[in-house]
Amino acid sequence: MGGTSALAAVVIVTAATVLIAFNGLRLSRTTSDFYVASRTVRPWWNASAIGGEYLSAASFLGIAGLIVVSGQDGLWFPIGYTAGYLMLLLFVAAPLRRSGAYTLPDFAQIRLGGRAPRLVTSALVVVVGWMYIVPQLHGAALTLGITTPVPGWMGAAAVMCIVCVTVLAGGMRSITFVQAFQYWLKLLALAVPTVFLLLHLGLTGDSPTADGAALDPWVSDATAQGSSAVAGGALTLFQTISLIVALLFGTLGLPHVLVRFYTNPDGPSARRTTAIVLGLLSLFYLFPTILGVLGRAYLPELAESNNADATVLLLPQEVVGGVAGDLLAALVIGGAFAAFLSTTSGLVVSLAGVMSQDLFGGTVRGFRWATVVACAVPLVLALATRSFALAGAIGSVFAFTASTICPLLLLGIWWRGLTARGALAGMITGALSCGTALLAASTLILPEAVAHVCEHPAAVTVPLAFVTTVAVSLWDQRREPAQSPAAARRAQRARRVMALLHVPEPLPSSGAATTHPPESR
């Protein structure tokens, strides 16, 4: 693979990203511009930007790699990633926009009152954000390490530095333009090679075989052998259910996705944005799925070398070769780099918004200091750790968000009886149970049955978090008489907030349920 063309693709994508970001700087003037683009982003722009930040390394590289390793089991990831947005459309998008919040901790404080729910939510948002950024940096290191003579760690450092500069330039307004551009670039970077490869194979009549027999690209090696391997093979029924739960509910708790709904002008536009996103994601995931099938046919050795995430990068040269293969590979590399930049920038914006309000006074200057911190910590973590399978690593993040932030969001929007203690108990229970399971799976040698649960814990930890939240909230209500001042205040706040979330027109007297924009703090 031509290292020169690969480096040129990275440089072009970087230059375009920086130019678009600095163009956004001209339009970013107020604190609201930096936090939520002054809530003026229209549905098509916002949907493109969401697609840009949501389609991460796990989508661009990891889906095809999973299909190479696991066959049809790898399809659960694109299905779950897309279906999670249907959950957002039905249950979250419009009410969250009507809340008037700037961040998830804002929502927690509006809904529950007090500082404790806000602080715990802030801590979880930061943990989730850093967990999500690290695989992006691993993907950047993998891409540059395989396709260029540059050391892999420079890929991670380059992504973090570029993201830091672009976020500092103009905050949310600037990043919106960048991410919208990067969605269409990523789509083009996969669609063109996929179509070209299919046309090439059709014209040449090439048909891959394995040991003289046609290779079935959908059957995993573990399935063919009658095995139920956890990693690199077929998923058990429990793991399949757990993965679906994690992907469906985990999408509801991703801070970098939720913050984009705060940028819509109103609730209906938030719903339209989500509907458009569903179409954009469905279109995008066609291409890594096809490339995964081709990878199983032409690069089956990647499954055994633990390098399956490189499938999309290596296929053009393997199938086409020559100058055409180099050019197609360079296009894929440019798209991959755009994936790392767009997702990481969205995460950094959401983290900077949370940290700046809680630690740096909620000003533009505080936002910029928080941006530096949000970039530095995951870069150190990425350089100090080794790369895991990208889609699997992101799946663990989804399990964690489904077990922690999702119960707060769903119950906070739809159940009037939620209390601050209940929300805190649910978030802490979900964090401890899911975090402990994932840590045990990655560090301990466990019996097979226990390993199945720990590697995909969402089917246990998500219901546990919801049950804990509901049980503690009900206990909280029973221990105080309904006529007590505390119970009356809680009921009054719940009524006001529920009206704010579910009545389409804004209420003129929302009282304590109204959040204060950062510029007034």
CA distance 28 to 169: 9
What is the arithmetic mean of pLDDT over 69-83? Answer: 83
Please compute the mean of the pLDDT values over residues 273-291 and round it to a whole number.
89
Q: Is the pLDDT of residue 328 over 50?
A: yes
The SS3 assignment for 506 reads coil
pLDDT band at 482 (very low <50, low <70, confident <90, very high): low
Most confident by average pLDDT, 13-27, 220-234, 241-255, 294-308 = 241-255
Domain definitions of the chain by residue range: 3-202+217-390
- pLDDT interval class at 429 (50, 70, 90): very high
Q: Are 291 and 195 in contact (CB under 8 A)?
A: no
> Of the candidates 167, 47, 31, which has an alpha carbon nearest to the alpha carbon of residue 102?
31
> Residues 368, 31: contact at Cβ < 8 Å?
no
Half-sphere exposure of 466 (CA within 13 A, CB side): 15
Taking a C-beta distance cutoff of 8 angstroms, is the pair 383, 156 a contact? yes
pLDDT value of position 492:
83
Between residues 78 and 56, which one has the greater pLDDT?
Answer: 78
Task: Tell which wins on pLDDT, 54 or 513.
Answer: 54
Which tops the pLDDT comparison, 248 or 3?
A: 248
pLDDT of 474: 93
| Chain segment 405-425, per-residue pLDDT in tens | 999 999 999 999 899 999 999
User: At residue 252, does pLDDT exceed 90?
Assistant: no
Which residue has tokens 């892999």?
152
Give the CATH number of domain 3-202+217-390; options: 3.30.70.1430, 1.20.1730.10, 3.40.50.720, 3.40.50.1580: 1.20.1730.10
- pLDDT number for residue 490: 77
The pLDDT of 461-466, averaged and rounded, is 96
Determine contact, residues 408/427, Cβ cutoff 8 Å. yes
pLDDT for 270: 76
- The pLDDT of residue 508 is 45
Q: Could you give the CA distance from residue 270 to residue 46 in angstroms, rounded to a whole number?
A: 9
What does the DSSP assignment read for 152-184? HHHHHHHHHHHHHHHHHHHHHHHHHHHHHHHHH
Q: Hey, is 396 helix, strand or coil? A: helix
pLDDT for the residue 36: 56
Mean pLDDT (whole number) for 312-330: 87
- Give the distance, in angstroms, between the CA of residue 164 and the centroid of all CA atoms in the same chain: 18
- The alpha carbon of residue 488 and the mean position of all alpha carbons in its chain are separated, in whole angstroms, by 39
- pLDDT of 1: 47
Contacts of 91 (CB under 8 A, 6+ apart): 252, 410, 413, 414
Model pTM score = 0.81
CA distance 228 to 235: 6
Q: Is the pLDDT of residue 517 over 50?
A: no
Q: pLDDT digit string (tens) for 430-454? A: 999 999 999 998 888 888 888 888 9
Alpha helices, DSSP H only, in 26-115? 31-36, 43-54, 57, 63-70, 76-91, 93-98, 104-112
Using the structure block, give the residue that is written with the tokens 């704010």. Answer: 500
pLDDT of residue 213: 38
Q: Which tokens hold the place of 10? A: 């990275």
Please enumerate in sequence order all residues whose Cβ is within 8 A of that of 185, keeping only pairs 6 or more positions apart, or say none. 13, 16, 334, 335, 338
Q: How confident is the model at residue 230 (pLDDT cuts 50, 70, 90)?
A: very low
Task: Check whether 219 has a pLDDT greater than 60.
Answer: no
